Amino acid sequence: MTTLARKLRTVDYFTLGWGTMVGVGWLVVMDDWLLRGGVLGAVLGFAIGGALLLPIGYVYGRLVVAMPDAAGEIAYTAKVFPPGVSFATGWMMVLAYFIVCPWEAVAVGRIAGYIFPALDSMELYRIAGRPVYLPHLIIGLALTGLITLLNYRGIRLSATFQNWTAFGTLALFALFVSFGVSQGSPRNFPPLFTHGGFISVLLVIQIVPYFMTGFESVVKGAEESGPDFRSKGFVTAIWMAIVVGIGFYTIVIAAVGYVAPWRQLTGEKFMTAVAFERAVGSRWIVSVILTAALLSLVKCFNGNFVASSRLLFAMGRRGLVDPAVSRIHPRNQTPSIAVIWVGIATAACMFLGDAILVPISEVGSVASAAGWLAACAAYLRMASLPLERTIALVGVMVGLAMILMKIVPVVPGHFTGYEWLALAVWILLGVGLGWRARAAAMVAATKT
State CA 230 to chain mean position distance: 26
pLDDT > 60? residue 1: no
Instruction: Output the pLDDT for position 349.
Output: 87
The CA–CA distances, whole Å, from 236 to 40, 75, 215, 239 equal 30, 21, 11, 5
Nearest C-alpha neighbor of 19 from the set 80, 72, 92, 97: 97
pLDDT more than 70, % of the chain: 96
How confident is the model over 181-198, as pLDDT tens digits?
Answer: 888 888 988 889 998 888
How confident is the model over 392-432, as pLDDT tens digits?
Answer: 999 999 999 888 888 888 777 678 877 888 888 888 888 88
Q: What is the 3-state secondary structure (H, E, C) of the chain?
A: CCCCCCCECHHHHHHHHHHHHCCCHHHHCHHHHHHHHHHHHHHHHHHHHHHCCHHHHHHHHHHHHHCCCCCCHHHHHHHHCCHHHHHHHHHHHHHHHHCHHHHHHHHHHHHHHHHCHHHCCCEEEEECCEEEEHHHHHHHHHHHHHHHHHHHHCHHHHHHHHHHHHHHHHHHHHHHHHHHHCCCCHHHCCCCCCCCHHHHHHHHHCCHHHHHCCHHHHHHHHHHECCCCCCHHHHHHHHHHHHHHHHHHHHHHHHHHHHCCHHHHCCCCCHHHHHHHHHHCCCHHHHHHHHHHHHHHHHHHHHHHHHHHHHHHHHHHCCCCCHHHHCCCCCCCCCHHHHHHHHHHHHHHHCCHHHHHHHHHHHHHHHHHHHHHHHHHHHHHHCCCHHHHHHHHHHHHHHHHHHHHHHCCCCCCCCCHHHHHHHHHHHHHHHHHHHHHHHHHHHHHHHC
pLDDT > 70? residue 358: no
Instruction: Output the pLDDT for position 444.
Output: 67
- For the segment 296-309, the average pLDDT, to the nearest whole number, is 93
Confidence of residue 445 (pLDDT cuts 50, 70, 90): low
How confident is the model over 362-402, as pLDDT tens digits?
Answer: 777 788 889 999 999 999 999 989 999 999 999 999 999 88
Instruction: Output the pLDDT for position 9.
Output: 92
Instruction: Output the pLDDT for position 250.
Output: 96
How confident is the model over 223-278, as pLDDT tens digits?
Answer: 999 888 888 899 999 999 999 999 999 999 999 999 989 888 888 888 899 999 88
pTM, two decimals, is 0.89
pLDDT > 70? residue 343: yes
Instruction: Output the pLDDT for position 253.
Output: 94
Domains and CATH numbers, the chain: 10-447 (1.20.1740.10)
Instruction: Output the pLDDT for position 363.
Output: 79
* 398-402, long-range: CB < 8 A, 24+ apart: 398/52, 398/53, 398/55, 398/56, 398/372, 399/56, 399/369, 399/370, 399/372, 399/373, 399/374, 400/369, 400/373, 402/205, 402/206, 402/208, 402/209, 402/365, 402/366, 402/369, 402/372
Instruction: Output the pLDDT for position 357.
Output: 61
310, 80, 208, 110: CA torsion to nearest 10:
20
Higher pLDDT among residues 417 and 71, named by residue: 71
Higher pLDDT among residues 448 and 297, named by residue: 297
Measured from the Cβ of residue 428, the count of other Cβ atoms closer than 10 Å reads: 10
Higher pLDDT among residues 64 and 96, named by residue: 64
Higher pLDDT among residues 139 and 448, named by residue: 139
Instruction: Output the pLDDT for position 447.
Output: 67
Confidence of residue 146 (pLDDT cuts 50, 70, 90): very high
